[in-house]
Amino acid sequence: MRLTGLASGMDVDSMVAKLMKAQRAPLDKLNQQKQLVEWKREGYREVGSKLITFSNTTLMDLSLSSSTQAKKAEVSGTAGVLSAAATGAASTGTLDISVQKLATAASTASATGIGNKPGSTLISTLSSETKITINKVDIPIDSTDTIDSMIAKINNSKEAGVTAVYDPASGKLSLTNKSTGADAQLSFGGDILSKFNLAAPTSGQDAQLTVNGISMQQASNRFTLNGVEINLTGTHSAGQSSKINIVQDTDKIVENVKQFVTAYNEVLSSLNSKSDEERYLKYQPLTEEQKKDMSEDEIKLWEEKAKSGMLKNDSILRQSLTDMRTAIMGDIDLGNGKKINLADLGITTGTWNEKGKLYLNEDKLKQALAADPEVVSKAFGSGSIASSGSGQTYEPTDGIYTRLRKISQSSLESMAQKAGTSKTNSDLNASFIANSLMGVELRDLDNRISNMNSLLTRKETQYYKQFSAMEVAMNKYNSISGSLSSFMS
């Protein structure tokens, strides 16, 4: 605690504060410079988050064969016997299927139950045994277990792989394998289960069917054949069958292309917005002193202006935009001297001031698909991207999705090196890489700010010492003056 101005009557604290205000100007500049670097780095992270989502989620999903070569299964013939869904691996054509038997699971049930006993009945009242065995898996039973909790333990045991059902009215228990098929047999043992008088288990059986004249068996009623997911729900009468016709799902392919156009335009708009955002140079980051004289709304409005344009004309963003637009409008080399362009599929750009925004003519795309069902797969889905995802340039043979993913990964690599942003994590709160160029710059600023604070602390102490010395001198002068006055009087 400083006691100042007692002899001089001066407001020393105020005078020191005014002297220090001028001294703090370089420190304010350093803090403002640090804030600008942090805002710019956050801007990179925001852009990076959008590119990661675009590349690693949207484009990755759209590049799957189920998107570029979407098929659908049309079922005809006897109703209620089967359903089907085509995957991207399905080939166009027809499957003629006749189902003779459905796959069943091995099961057992009580011949006579334990009588009318509620599920809250303790197992210990039925047997002193401490385990049951189902499909060679031991399930422990303790003194607090009831019938209901035993049923829950059975059903929750993945290793046992059965479904248990108990009827308290009759006291009967049933066990059914979760897996169907002739190989999935059921076994059980132990004194507890013997109390329920379970019958010998019936064997499971495979589904039996004929597909395009070939007899086959399936352990499950759900299986995939020729890229078609089939679910058997009934059997055919003699001489009957169901037909599964695999055709191209043009509507889904068009919808996926529309989804791409929308996602691409959103990313393009975001990059253009950041690159073109106005920079207001007269709005610098506020100092703590400046904030004291402003309301929260005033501070918010000021900082919105101060943050604006952090990435204006940024070289990384500009390069990304140029590469993306070039990749979109460039020809895709199909080999054998054949090439294709997105314009052939009805995808074009707008006017120059829309800066590369894409538009889709659905009718033209459908016409292209009618002429060549694989055209979208060729134009969008060809090519591959290395698992490292960095330092890659696209090839003329790469499809649009691969090109844009490589461009995105290259941009993310550049931002990681410069700003320390993540190349894989789209979280806006993800930590920065410390040894990036901007990370090193911020550490240097922190050191300079720390040194400046130490210097200012010493300077402030010096000022107070000087004023204290003045106070001591004035006290002495006042003492001498008083003594002389007393002597003269």
pLDDT tens, position by position, 65-108 = 888 888 999 999 998 999 999 987 888 899 999 999 999 999 99
Burial code (b: 16+ CB inside 10 Å, e: under 16) for 130-147 equals bebebbebebebeeebbb
Quick one: which of 221, 224, 189, 187 has its CA closest to 205?
A: 221
- Which ranges in 63-170 belong to alpha helices (H)? 65-68, 147-156
Contact in structure between 84 and 174 (CB atoms under 8 Å): no
* CA–CA dist 108, 188 (Å, integer): 10
Residue 11 has pLDDT above 90, yes or no: no
Query: What is the band of 25 on the pLDDT scale with cuts at 50, 70, 90?
Result: confident
Quick one: which of 372, 465, 417, 425 has its CA closest to 12?
A: 465
Percent of the chain whose pLDDT exceeds 70 = 92
Residue 439 has pLDDT above 70, yes or no: yes
Quick one: which of 419, 395, 392, 397 has its CA closest to 408?
A: 392
* Residue whose structure tokens are 């248990």: 164
What phi and psi, each to the nearest 5 degrees, are found at residue 332? -105, 120
Give residues with Cβ within 8 angstroms of 47, minimum separation 6: 270, 271, 274, 311, 317, 415
Residue 7 has pLDDT above 50, yes or no: no
Contact in structure between 274 and 267 (CB atoms under 8 Å): no
Residue 3 has pLDDT above 60, yes or no: no
SS3 217: strand
Residue 470 has pLDDT above 80, yes or no: no
What is the DSSP secondary structure assignment for residue 83, as one 8-state letter? Answer: E
Structure tokens at 171: 């006291």
Amino acid at 420: G
Mean pLDDT of 450-455: 87
In 297-417, at which residue ranges do the beta strands (DSSP E only) sit? 332-335, 338-340, 347-349, 358-360
Pick the CATH number of 107-194 from 3.30.160, 3.30.70, 1.10.1760, 3.40.50: 3.30.70
pLDDT tens, position by position, 299-334 = 999 999 999 999 999 999 999 999 999 999 999 998
Q: What is the DSSP string of 392-437?
A: ----TT--HHHHHHHHHHHHHHHHHHHH---SS---TTPPPPTTSH
* Residue whose structure tokens are 């999705």: 401
What phi and psi, each to the nearest 5 degrees, are found at residue 400? -60, -45
- Which ranges in 80-216 belong to alpha helices (H)? 147-156, 191-194
Bridge partner list, 13:
none
Contact in structure between 332 and 340 (CB atoms under 8 Å): yes
HSE-CB at 186 with a 13 A cutoff on CA atoms is: 26
* CA–CA dist 42, 27 (Å, integer): 23
* CA–CA dist 47, 271 (Å, integer): 7
pTM for the model stands at 0.74
* Residue whose structure tokens are 């890229």: 227
Query: What is the band of 464 on the pLDDT scale with cuts at 50, 70, 90?
Result: confident
- Least-confidence region, from 6-15, 55-64, 151-160, 416-425: 6-15
Query: What is the band of 388 on the pLDDT scale with cuts at 50, 70, 90?
Result: low
Q: Which pLDDT score is estimated for 379?
A: 92
Mean pLDDT of 243-254: 93
pLDDT mean across residues, the chain? 90
Query: What is the band of 23 on the pLDDT scale with cuts at 50, 70, 90?
Result: confident
pLDDT tens, position by position, 114-141 = 999 999 999 999 999 999 999 999 999 9
Contact in structure between 172 and 196 (CB atoms under 8 Å): yes
SS3 143: coil
Q: Is the dihedral of CA 434, 435, 439, 441 positive or negative?
A: positive
pLDDT tens, position by position, 255-265 = 999 999 999 99
pLDDT tens, position by position, 154-190 = 999 999 999 999 999 999 999 999 999 999 999 999 9
How many CB atoms are closer than 10 A to CB 317?
24
Q: Which pLDDT score is estimated for 1?
A: 42
* CA–CA dist 202, 185 (Å, integer): 8
Query: What is the band of 483 on the pLDDT scale with cuts at 50, 70, 90?
Result: low
Structure tokens at 388: 């490292």
